[in-house]
Structure 1
Amino acid sequence: MVHAGLKGIVAAESEISLVDGERGQLVYRGEWASTLAKEKSFEEVVYFLWNGSFPSEKALKEFSTKLLEARYLKPYQKDILDRLPDSMDMMAVIRTVVSSMGNKADTFPSTEQEGIKIVGLIPTIISYRYRSLQGDPIIEPDASLSHVANFLYMLKGKTPDENHVKALSAYFVLTMEHGLNASTFTARVIASTESDLVSAIAGAIGAMKGPLHGGAPTGVIDLLEEIKKEGSAERVLKRKLENKEKLMGFGHRIYKTRDPRAAALSDITSNFYDDEEFKLAHEVENKAVELLKEHKPGRNLYANVEYYAAAILRSIELPTELFTPTFTAARCAGWVAHVYEQNQNNSIIRPSSTYTGEIPEE
């Protein structure tokens, strides 16, 4: 029996995460991802995901310092960024610069420092390229800011709003890992050949680039914009449902109940009512869930993480073309964790295929 896309096939055992769509659960190494997003920093969760335990105060400081030091582009990397054509999309740019990080000293199994170098640098690649294309001065990293706060600072050139940092940090934690998705599987396949970490991450970026995996939530943003312009969530949502249109940002192909990532982001941003974009997002979510129960009873359709990603994007005024790159900056930590795990108990990944062509005559 052929399972198209390997759907339902177990290809690996992993201690990194559990994605339970039936129960609406997301677990990182025995901890609820939603709890980690509310109580831990990005740096703490990355350390936890890679090491299986939370860092001591000393270990966290050392790890955070290494991640901070990895933010800085080398001269040759700036030269690459300056020479790439303006027509090249951001994901291809990230992939190219990450590919350039490989060298003869890369080892198997991969080291923590190799992972730190990649995770630390991707936000800088994004901000450098984006500001260059806008004709704005390049902003160097600020050593006093956390990983996520510094990303916003380098993009905007000003100290970011505290609520924006909280929301985006939670988003980074909740999207850094999500089981054996397309990009993560790609990273593990490459790692299974005993290739280096840079190659595995470059391949994962290539998979994330595809719109079926890392596509921007433009439909959600369009929905929120339409509601804001018309001034009535109920009127717009009812019209769409009566016209048999899909409500973008609601429902998920894995989660059969509320997406736990969306639930966590909803809780975290629930008191940000001084921010009009988050206030609108909450009002629309509540009304949409109410109307979906009326129009599509029994379907259990709730807001997904893409919905709140759009709300965060709108609030921090991030252009839609930076959504997938920002998603990549978060998910990269999960890719690295899976490469490390693959390295520890490696077996080359090589599924079979069923031949459907002709057989030559004997």
Structure 2
Amino acid sequence: MSGLDNVIAAETRLSEVDGANGRLVICGHSLDDLAGNVPYEDVLALLLPDLLGPNPQAIRADLGQARVVAFRQLAHLDAELAALPVTEALRALMARLPDGEDRETALLQIAAPAVFVPALVRRQAGQGAIAPDPARAHAADMLAMLTGADPGAEAVRALDTYLVTVSDHGLNASTFTARVVASTRAGYASAVVAALGALKGPLHGGAPGPVLDMLDAIGTPANAADWIDAALVRGERLMGFGHRVYRVRDPRADALKGALRRLGAAGGMDAGRLALAEAIERDALTALRARKPDRVLETNVEFFTALLLEALGFPRDAFTGVFAAGRVGGWVAHAHEQIETGRLIRPQSRYVGPQPAGRAA
């Protein structure tokens, strides 16, 4: 199957992925202008102005109250559910939330992953969940619920950069899933849970963790070139390089690399870890260009996602859940847009199986 490449399945005002030029536009704004410069609430105001309102400060306050509502669900977090991998437990918790197509449902869906992921991480570490503070900004509260401490300004800016960077990215697998479900008028919660199921797949949202496995295996910058060459000789894929759409560098990688450097300058991450990553990136790009000159394999968002989320204190098995905490704004926006402007999504298939016996040619 073609994977529906180059098939236009929707018209949207939400985002444009320009793979040929390495450009991402979100609601008329370049990612370069948004990432690192505005908090997540500002992007929500761009994505959902008619549902959440155009005022980021009002969204911040309402999102804070929605986190308080989401936290109440953790009273029903049983041991069996808490023992699941973070993404599966997150999906189960999200499925318990009420469904609908109203503003309160949208806010709760956007708020909940930021509450549930830190709580699940802490529960699996034998620690209690920390209640949200509705007065905090969304990224700051997510970090505080993870660590139990007031996060520094640069850490908050780094997480905001990540949430903004992944908030929407065209009609990717999980977003398309959300639109299909929304087109049935099932509600925002159903669309988000279905999108989470798509995100769980390793070909979509599950790749950042193995980037760190690669860094750990290489160990030092001096080992990078030889390790990479040996991996390519074995036919292995280098995690964090190449993208289905981008034919030049993924602009999200640049945004996150900038956030990492700012975090490192503020003392928020191990300088040696960043130096190792930059050496691996340099040697990997050199090796890929030499061995695969007919393919464009540039650094993608997953490479620096892994380093950034690690530096902020998230364990590897929670990375997909943090991705969901950012992408959920886009999922809800696409679901809302589909409900407001679209119709039931019902593509056709071409039958290639056998015909009944005796049928005339």
Q: Which residue number in structure 1 is paired with residue 131 of structure 2?
A: 140
Match of 1:102 in 2: 98
Cα distance in 2 for residues equivalent to 1:287 and 1:230: 9
TM-score (norm 2): 0.89
Cross-structure match for 2:252: 261
Given the superposition, is the C-alpha separation of residues 245 and 31 from structure 1 closer, same or farther in structure 2, using an over 3 Å criterion?
same
RMSD over aligned Cα atoms: 2.5
The residue that corresponds to 2:355 in the other structure is 358
Letter in 2 for 1:203: A
Residue in structure 2 matched with residue 214 of structure 1 by the alignment: 205
Letter in 2 for 1:266: K
Which structure 2 segments of 5+ residues have no match?
Answer: none
Residue 71 of structure 1 aligns with which residue? 67
1:28-75 CA-to-partner distances (Å, cap 9, x unmatched) read 12211122112211110111111289987xx22211000011112468
Q: Aligned equivalents of 1:75 and 1:270: distance in 2?
A: 33
C-alpha change, 1:232 and 1:317, in structure 2 (3 Å) is: farther
Q: Give the deviation of 1:76 after TM superposition.
A: 6.2
Distance 2:236 2:96 in 1: 44
Partners in 1 of 2:227 and 2:288 — Cα distance? 13
Pairwise CA distance, 1:193: 1.3
| 1:287 is aligned to 2:296 | no
Q: Quick one: structure 1 residues 353 and 297, their matched pair in 2 at CA, closer, same or farther if it must change by over 3 Å?
A: closer
Q: Describe the SS at the equivalent of 1:204.
A: helix
The residue matched to 1:27 in structure 2 has which SS?
Answer: strand
| 1:187 equivalenced with 2:183 (yes/no) | no
Of 31, 36, 40, the match for 1:38: 36
Q: 2:215 pairs with 224, 232, 238, which one? A: 224
Could you say if the C-alpha distance between residues 162 and 295 of structure 1 is closer, same or farther in structure 2, counting changes exceeding 3 Å? farther
2:164 aligned residue (151, 173, 178): 173
Q: Deviation of residue 245 (structure 1)?
A: 3.8
Aligned residues: 353
- For normalisation by structure 1, the TM-score amounts to 0.88
CA distance in 2, matches of 1:25, 1:298: 22
- After TM superposition, where is structure 1 displaced by more than 6 Å over at least 4 residues in a row? 52-56
Separation in 2, partners of 1:266, 1:317 = 17
> Are the counterparts in 2 of residues 17 and 178 from structure 1 also a CA contact under 8 Å?
yes
Query: SS where residue 5 of structure 1 aligns?
Result: coil
Deviation at 1:83, TM superposition (A): 5.4
Contact 1:14 1:341 in 2 (8 A): yes
Q: Confirm whether residue 123 of structure 1 aligns to residue 119 of structure 2.
A: no
Does the CA contact (< 8 Å) of 1:278 and 1:312 recur in 2? no
Secondary structure of 1:179's aligned partner? coil
Larger mean Cα displacement after TM superposition, 129-138 or 306-315: 129-138
Give % identity: 35
Deviates further, 251-260 or 204-213: 204-213
Task: Give the AA of the match of 1:357.
Answer: P
Q: What SS does the corresponding residue of 2:77 show, helix, strand or coil? A: helix
Q: Unmatched 5+ residue regions in structure 1?
A: none
Structure 1 counterpart of 2:24: 26
Which secondary structure state, in structure 2, belongs to the residue aligned with residue 211 of structure 1? coil
